[in-house]
Amino acid sequence: MKALTAALATALTLAGCATTTSPTGRTQYVGAVSQAQLNQMGEQAFAETKSKMRASPDARQQAYVRCLVTDIVRELPGDWQRLNWESIVFVDDNPNAFALPGGKVGVHTGILNVAKTQDQLAAVIAHEIGHVYANHHDERITRQMGAQGALGVAGALLGSRYGEGAQQSTNQLGGAALQATFLLPGTRMQETEADVVGQELMAKAGFDPRAAVGLWQNMIAASGGNRPPQWLSTHPNPENRISELQARATSLVPTFDQARAAGRRPNCG
């Protein structure tokens, strides 16, 4: 991990930045690392996560999530489909999920208690895959490089998956949690964009885009009026978000209907 972090710091020092267009048409500044490096970092982060968390022994849960990921990935462009996609359900009561460059998807068992239907869980997974497809991890690294230089980015890579305090501690300690860059919450702009991309992906795959509304209502209820779960922590205002999801779902119903008419009728569980 130390060698990989050192290599990343060198790459960041030498790399130039470029602009690209996100799936929603937004201009992005990316290119701090190559796509191959980004995929390698995602794979390394996932490997570390697997070493620290216990995979669910429930084969049905694993098959359920794998089915959802497969159906959603099928709606991505060909080069994205060809990634080595892998999904694992981890035993963790925190209602969370994530997707990493290189095609890695993690789902906590806690989210299975909140996403009551396959369409609701598809909303979660499609949102997370939307982050990967929209190059949000590359964008975050590039932004960090511009703000802090290579050393600052290397420090950001050594944060924790769970909150600013833990991130600061591992920054100070120079720890080895490379997955931090990938699992720390994104900006609200990125979260909104992942909503847009994810809701469209799920509709194209034959999942009802209206289920995203119920999912977020469940997430709010699960917080019990206390501090929202981590998955909600940097997202837009929940009430505004539900309104946006509802409006977008209405516009995506024809896409959903076309997918169903074309035979895309997911039956994951």
Q: Cα(162)–Cα(184) distance, rounded to whole angstroms?
A: 7
Instruction: Report the distance separating Cα 35 and Cα 51, nearest Å.
Output: 24
Q: What is the pLDDT of residues 46-87, one digit of tens each?
A: 999 999 999 999 999 999 999 999 999 999 999 999 999 999
Beta-bridge mates of residue 99: 105
Answer positive or negative: Cα dihedral of 233, 234, 235, 236.
positive
* Token pair of 96 as six digits: 């969370």
| pLDDT for position 16 | 55
Catalytic-labelled residue, pool 43, 75, 86, 128: 128
Look over the chain and give the mean of its residue pLDDT values, rounded to a whole number.
Answer: 81
Give the domain ranges of the chain: 2-261
pLDDT tens, residue by residue, 209-225: 999 999 989 988 887 65
pLDDT at 63: 98
- Percentage with pLDDT > 90 across the chain: 54
Q: How confident is the model at residue 177 (pLDDT cuts 50, 70, 90)?
A: very low
Q: List strands edge to edge, sheet with 86-90.
A: 86-90, 104-108, 97-100
Mean pLDDT of 15-44: 85
Instruction: Give the DSSP letter of residue 231.
Output: G
CB 151 within 8 A of CB 243: no
DSSP 3-state assignment of 86? strand
Give the residue, 165 or 143, on which the prediction is more confident: 143
pLDDT band at 239; cut points 50, 70, 90: confident
Q: Is 128 an annotated catalytic residue?
A: yes
Residues 6+ apart with CB under 8 A from 210: 246, 249, 250, 253
Q: How far is CA 1 from the centre of its chain?
A: 22
How would you class 158 by CB atoms within 10 Å of its CB: exposed for 0-12, middle for 13-18, buried for 19 or more? buried
User: For the ranges 40-54, 101-115, 169-183, which has the lowest average pLDDT?
Assistant: 169-183
| 186, pLDDT greater than 90 | no
